């Protein structure tokens, strides 16, 4: 199917072949930004924009973990606070109050673990139009990381592995610093 090329001539929107797209009275409701949204979605993400979105995605998971851990802790507290405790009986040889306290904290930890996927899922639902582009760029990013990462077999206390999965990379300058750290690691590993 032939693509339709829309262009602006003066104050009228027309087809490329000269036919009027909309009557002139509706021209104020059509803006260039509305016409260019599809071309922007087709456009590839820049690395800076991708790394910004990636950092935003990870932060949303971290931020969502806080309320979910509070909810888990609260639910655990409300459950274990209502259980009648016999102080003469022990659970695994430990005082029941201590066991219930640890179980309440474990509920908070489970809430923390559930928060990250919830936050990332919410973030992806808000950025659903660009999700495919982000996934393609993520794949390219991890191919770059995999190609340039160091061999961890040569690590020591004096020569730790620099961010093996590239999780701390949040900008191009961070990526360049990661590459320099990997190069320095390789040099130290060859010397030792």
Rg of the chain over Cα atoms, rounded to whole angstroms, equals 28
- In 10 A of CB 127, how many CB atoms? 15
Q: Positive or negative, the Cα torsion across 133, 139, 145, 147?
A: negative
Supply the pLDDT for residue 111: 96
Residue, of 96 and 141, whose pLDDT is higher: 141
Residues contacting 187, CB < 8 A, separation 6+? none
Q: Kindly report the CA angle at 89 between 84 and 94, in degrees rounded to 5?
A: 105
Partners of residue 6 on adjacent β-strands: 15
3-state class (DSSP) for residue 48: helix
Residue 35 has pLDDT above 70, yes or no: no
Measured CA to CA, the distance from residue 125 to residue 118 in angstroms comes to 11
The pLDDT assigned to 95 comes to 85
Question: Which pLDDT score, from 0 to 100, does residue 118 have?
Answer: 95
Average pLDDT over residues 147-173: 86
Of 81 and 107, more confident: 107
The pLDDT score that the predictor gives to residue 43 is 64
pLDDT exceeds cutoff 80 at 1: no
Tokens representing 121 are 């899922």
Render pLDDT for 57-100 as a digit per residue (tens, 0 to 9).
Answer: 999 999 999 999 999 999 999 998 888 888 788 888 888 888 89
pTM of the complete model beyond 0.85: no
> CA dist 96 to 70, 93, 111, 142, 187, Å?
23, 9, 22, 48, 55
């Amino acid at each position: 199917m032939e693509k339709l090329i829309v262009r602006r001539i003066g104050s009228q929107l027309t087809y490329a072949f000269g036919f009027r797209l909309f009557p002139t009275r509706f021209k104020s409701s059509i803006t260039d930004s509305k016409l260019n949204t599809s071309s922007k979605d087709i456009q590839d993400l820049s690395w800076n924009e991708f790394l910004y979105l990636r950092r935003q995605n990870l932060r949303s998971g971290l931020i969502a973990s806080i309320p979910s851990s509070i909810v888990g802790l609260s639910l655990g507290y409300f459950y274990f606070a209502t259980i009648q405790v016999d102080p003469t009986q022990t659970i695994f040889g430990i005082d029941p109050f201590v066991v219930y306290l640890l179980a309440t904290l474990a509920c908070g930890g489970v809430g923390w673990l559930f928060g990250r996927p919830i936050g990332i899922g919410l973030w992806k639902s808000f950025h659903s139009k660009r999700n495919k582009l982000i996934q393609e760029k993520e794949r390219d990013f991890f191919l770059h990381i995999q190609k340039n990462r160091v061999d961890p077999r040569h690590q020591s206390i004096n020569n730790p592995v620099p961010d093996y999965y590239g999780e701390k990379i949040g900008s191009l300058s961070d990526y360049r610093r990661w590459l320099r750290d990997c190069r320095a690691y390789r040099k130290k590993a060859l010397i030792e």
